[in-house]
């Protein structure tokens, strides 16, 4: 018997970064030197004291045994302490904090834990792929909220049809935004989201994974800073970007007690939680010195400025983001007819530069390219040179 995938799985295209990796492998096999600016995987090493904490914890035999889904008490306390210091929000580490095997896992499992087949989820477009894919795999009906450059890549919740609002059980928001780099300049969208939740009774899932990677004096808020937010909102964070711990697979969700409880119960059937030695390393990251984040932000800022300058010299103007580790720009005019996927494939296969096509983040991402700042400045400038060659070739065609 030939295994047949479910309709939910069949309805999804190949995962964007799996496709990019396959193209990168093909280009490397052809002898092209690769500069990979596709996935947002930090190239800087994790903090030294965090790595030391992991090594010390791994020497303790008790950390080799099964962990528990709810996480170590010291990790939940460290998360609550970090939250209070960072956002002045007091959390109960027993009921309002849940460690995750990365925020991607937590978001997907939240959909599965809370949604019945056919129930609605409001998802931005463009978006981080799991915001859409996770909802589809949960059997949900997705209503896309179009984000436009003209509106600062912010959704207009007042334009959502009432029928979609009544059907939707979860409203997902993500700022600082992946892939666009957009930020909230004030709290109006979060206030509108709370009003929307009160009107329709939906949960707000706020993805705040990039809250610490900010530039030029910007400071990202938490939705839980707003009064009454914990009655209807959960917020996701990740150590992947803030502490360059992407490969460690650890994040957390905080907020609404009932949602946290349901997610924890669901995860208990599927996983044993995060390895204890990784949890103890995360405690060291959250409780230890935070100067690593400031250094990482300055590194990304310098890379941002250098790449924007180099791309401008190559004839491609891209807006300056105030947060995240990405540039998000409209396709150069010569590439717009072919589309973002064709342009990204051309860059990889002919020039060895991996970028992410905007259409991979949803239909409203078409016409854009996302470039990750995950390489040293010299490589970024070389990537810009190669991109310039690709654009010139398209013009000549």
Q: Give the model confidence (pLDDT) of 128-174 as tens digits.
A: 999 999 999 999 999 999 999 999 999 999 999 999 999 999 999 99
pLDDT digits (tens, 9 = 90+) for 301-333: 999 999 999 999 999 999 999 999 999 999 999
Which of 261, 287, 313 lies at the terminal end of a domain, its last residue?
A: 287
Establish if 216 belongs to a structural domain: yes
C-alpha closest to that of 283 among 96, 25, 49: 49
Kindly tell me if the per-residue pLDDT of 14 is higher than 80: no
Residues 122 and 209 grouped into a single domain:
yes
* C-alpha dist (Å) from residue 258 to 113, 263, 397: 11, 9, 58
Same domain, 75 and 56: yes
Q: What pLDDT does residue 158 have?
A: 92
Identify the pLDDT of residue 20. 86
pLDDT in tens, 229-256: 999 999 999 999 999 999 999 999 999 9
pLDDT exceeds 80 at position 92:
yes
pLDDT at 18 (0 to 100): 85
Domain-embedded: residue 13: yes
Do both 279 and 262 map to the same domain?
yes
Q: What are all long-range contacts of 47-52, with beta carbons under 8 Å and residues at least 24 apart?
A: 47/243, 47/244, 47/285, 47/288, 47/292, 49/284, 49/288, 49/289, 50/243, 50/245, 50/281, 50/282, 50/284, 50/285, 50/288, 51/281, 52/284
Check whether residue 222 and residue 360 sit in a common domain: no
Task: Look up the domain containing 12 and give its range.
Answer: 7-45+292-396
- Do residue 244 and residue 388 come from a single domain? no
Please determine, for residue 15, whether its predicted confidence score (pLDDT) is greater than 90.
no
Choosing from 256, 287, 318, the residue where a domain stops is 287
* Span 205-213, average pLDDT: 98
Within this chain, do residues 245 and 141 fall inside the same structural domain, yes or no?
yes
pLDDT computed for residue 395 by the predictor: 84
The total domain count for the chain is: 2
The whole-number pLDDT of residue 281 equals 98
- pLDDT(11) > 90: no
Domain of 97, CATH number, reads 3.40.640.10
Same domain, 118 and 248: yes
Report yes or no on 131 lying in a domain: yes
- Mean residue pLDDT of the chain comes to 96
């Amino acid at each position: 018997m030939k295994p047949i995938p479910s309709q939910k799985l069949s309805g999804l295209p190949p995962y964007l970064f799996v496709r990019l990796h396959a193209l990168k492998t093909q280009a490397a096999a052809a002898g092209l030197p690769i500069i990979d600016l596709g996935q947002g995987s930090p190239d800087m090493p994790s903090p030294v004291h965090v790595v030391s904490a992991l090594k010390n914890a791994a020497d303790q035999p008790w950390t080799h045994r099964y962990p528990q889904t709810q996480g170590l008490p010291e990790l939940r306390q460290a998360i609550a302490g970090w939250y209070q210091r960072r956002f002045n929000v007091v959390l109960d580490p027993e009921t309002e904090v849940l460690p995750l095997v990365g925020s991607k896992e937590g978001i997907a499992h939240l959909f599965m834990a809370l949604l019945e087949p056919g129930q609605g989820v409001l998802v931005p477009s463009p978006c981080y792929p799991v915001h859409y894919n996770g909802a589809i795999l949960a059997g949900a009906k997705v209503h896309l909220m179009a984000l436009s450059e003209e509106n600062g890549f912010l959704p207009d919740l007042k334009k959502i049809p009432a029928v979609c609002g009544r059907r939707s059980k979860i409203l997902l928001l993500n700022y600082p935004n992946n892939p666009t780099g957009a930020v909230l300049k004030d709290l109006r969208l979060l206030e509108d989201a709370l009003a929307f939740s009160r009107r329709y009774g939906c949960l707000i899932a706020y993805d705040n994974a990039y809250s610490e990677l900010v530039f030029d004096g910007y400071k990202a808020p938490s939705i839980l800073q707003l009064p009454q937010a914990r009655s209807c909102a959960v917020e996701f964070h990740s150590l992947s970007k803030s502490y360059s711990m992407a490969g460690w697979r650890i994040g957390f969700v905080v907020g609404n007690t009932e949602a946290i409880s349901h997610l924890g119960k669901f995860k208990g059937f599927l996983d044993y939680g995060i390895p204890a030695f990784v949890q103890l390393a995360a405690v060291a990251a959250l409780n230890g010195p935070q100067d690593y984040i400031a250094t990482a932000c300055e590194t990304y800022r310098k890379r941002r400025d250098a790449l924007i300058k180099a791309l401008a010299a190559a004839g491609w103007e891209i807006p300056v983001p105030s947060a995240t580790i990405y540039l998000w720009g409209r396709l150069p005019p010569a590439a717009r007819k072919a589309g973002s996927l064709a342009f990204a494939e051309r860059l990889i296969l002919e020039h060895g530069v991996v970028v992410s096509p905007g259409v991979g983040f949803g239909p409203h991402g078409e016409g854009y390219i996302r470039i990750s700042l995950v390489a040293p400045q010299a490589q970024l400038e070389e990537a810009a040179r190669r991109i310039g060659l690709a654009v010139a070739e398209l013009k000549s065609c």
